[in-house]
Amino acid sequence: MKYISLKKKSPPVRMEDAIFLGVAPDGGMYVPEHVPQFTKRELEQIPHMTLHDIAMLTLEKWMGDELSKQEIENIAQKAVSFPIPLVEVGGYKVLELFHGPTMSHKDVAAKVLAHTMQAYLKKKKKGVNVLMATSGDTGIAVGHSFTDIEHARVLLLFSKHLQNKLKREQLLKIGDNVLAVEVDGSYSQCHRLVRQAFEDPEIQKLGLTSANSINIGRILPQIIYFVYLYALMYPNLATLVIPTANFGNSISALLAQLMGIPFEKIVLATMEESFAPEYSKNGKYNGKAYSSDQITLAEHQNFTNFPRIMHFCGYSHHRFAELFEAYAVRDSKAMHMMHAVWHEYHYLTEPGTARAWVVADEIASPKKHIVIVTTSSPHKYAEEIKKSAGIHVDHTVVLERCKDRKSRFASIEDDYDTLKNLILQEFGHRKEGDSTKT
């Protein structure tokens, strides 16, 4: 299996190189040259498989030519170690992806990426340095996943303005090999600092990688969710309703479908400002036809996975419309839905799931088997839910769990030179026994 850059100016690479580089040398995102297929017999067997066996089968399809069956078995055991229940609420099925250690749908993918990297690193007896900006869930899941990885060091930038109490506490209480860096600026400014670091020749020598969904190694493991969902729903075909901002789960669902997993439709529930609903409706992006050149200029810089979706749709609106629908949901509607679902079914949702619920109500029909795909536990949005929907969410037990973990923390201004010195200290010149001021 080879991976190519969407900008098509870098040579194809193996999975090992794709996941450690994160982004191709030409600045493009990696995609597989082809999509491996489930055989007819495998598709017949999947509905009778356990979650672990489905994870093994799915990962082998992507990794089997580079890693041994035993290595993949070890990755699956470490990464898929918690349930993924499908519950029924108000006539819909709800796929709960938040039962992992950080209560986010990113737990499985982050753990698979971390332990896949470890499998390669053991052979080379090398370490890995992970640098990324985070608004919360991604960095938390990545940080916790890499605490188990020998010779791995992680530096997470987050905004000083992050108000979510639980997310902040989780970021600050990860482990000895993870440094949480609070930046006096917005998330966008954190992202800009990270991009500067990846473009800095001196920093590039440290062998940095990223672990957000720009990394193909974060996208492929999420296919497991949708293969497992097929097994849970069999023989019915699901209409997936996926809340999305950067289209990570959406491209994973599409790849599952291209591997042979049948769905009735993949429906995207986006925020009001998203361009996807406009494209879904009329094939236009910012008023223009969607082209590969336009994607590389606009979307690569924004680190969204929509370019990958368009690549596999052949940059064809007709093909996109066959596979997807997209709807924008105002925040006020999502907040109202959180309140309604709680009072009618006593089921807690967070903003993303509530957004998907609004869309599910819009498209519902007796013939559709709608599955709402969740993102994070409502406990991670306790303050937002209380403020917006008037629902008290008790997350004290979850907060208590953070107290037992060690904290490594630094605070910096929005200044690249300051970050560069910190990176060099942490990744370049740090010695055993060094500590970071907290």
The answer to which of 15-19, 23-27, 250-254 has the lowest mean pLDDT is 23-27
- The 10s digit of each residue's pLDDT in 157-171 is 999 998 888 888 888
Strand ranges in 22-121 using DSSP code E only, listed in sequence order? 30-32, 86-89, 92-95
- The 10s digit of each residue's pLDDT in 334-356 is 999 999 999 999 999 999 999 99
The answer to which of 16-20, 376-380, 398-402 has the lowest mean pLDDT is 398-402
State residue 125's pLDDT score.
Answer: 74
State residue 423's pLDDT score.
Answer: 95
Burial (0-12, 13-18, 19+ Cβ within 10 Å), 198: middle
State residue 414's pLDDT score.
Answer: 95
Residue 318 has pLDDT above 50, yes or no: yes
Place of tokens 């493009």: 28
State residue 23's pLDDT score.
Answer: 86
- The 10s digit of each residue's pLDDT in 26-80 is 888 999 999 999 999 999 999 999 999 999 999 999 999 999 999 999 999 999 9
Distance CA 365, CA 368 (A): 6
Task: Tell me the pTM.
Answer: 0.91
Residue 219 has pLDDT above 60, yes or no: yes
CA proximity to 250, closest of 167, 356, 133? 356
State residue 199's pLDDT score.
Answer: 85
State residue 297's pLDDT score.
Answer: 40
Residue 331 has pLDDT above 80, yes or no: yes
Question: Which position has the higher pLDDT, 242 or 7?
Answer: 242
Query: What percent of the chain stands above pLDDT 70?
Result: 92
Tokens of 216: 């193909």
**What CATH topology corresponds to 106-215+401-428?**
Rossmann fold (3.40.50)
What is the average per-residue pLDDT within 265-272? Answer: 94
- The 10s digit of each residue's pLDDT in 226-257 is 999 999 999 999 999 999 988 999 999 999 99
317: DSSP letter: H
**From the candidate CATH numbers 3.90.550.50, 3.30.160.250, 3.40.640.10, 3.40.50.1100, the one assigned to the domain spanning 82-103+218-389:** 3.40.50.1100
- Contact in structure between 168 and 402 (CB atoms under 8 Å): no
- The 10s digit of each residue's pLDDT in 282-309 is 887 766 665 555 544 444 445 579 989 9
The answer to which of 175-179, 180-184, 266-270, 325-329 has the lowest mean pLDDT is 175-179
- Contact in structure between 80 and 224 (CB atoms under 8 Å): yes
- Contact in structure between 294 and 283 (CB atoms under 8 Å): no
State residue 292's pLDDT score.
Answer: 56
- On the CB side of 269, CA atoms within 13 Å amount to 28
- The 10s digit of each residue's pLDDT in 123-135 is 887 888 999 999 8
Amino acid at 308: R
What is the average per-residue pLDDT within 188-203? Answer: 90
What is the average per-residue pLDDT within 253-278? Answer: 94
- Contact in structure between 268 and 325 (CB atoms under 8 Å): yes
Distance CA 145, CA 136 (A): 14
State residue 291's pLDDT score.
Answer: 58
**Across all residues in the chain, what is the average pLDDT?**
89
CATH 3.40.50.1100 region(s) of the chain? Answer: 82-103+218-389, 106-215+401-428
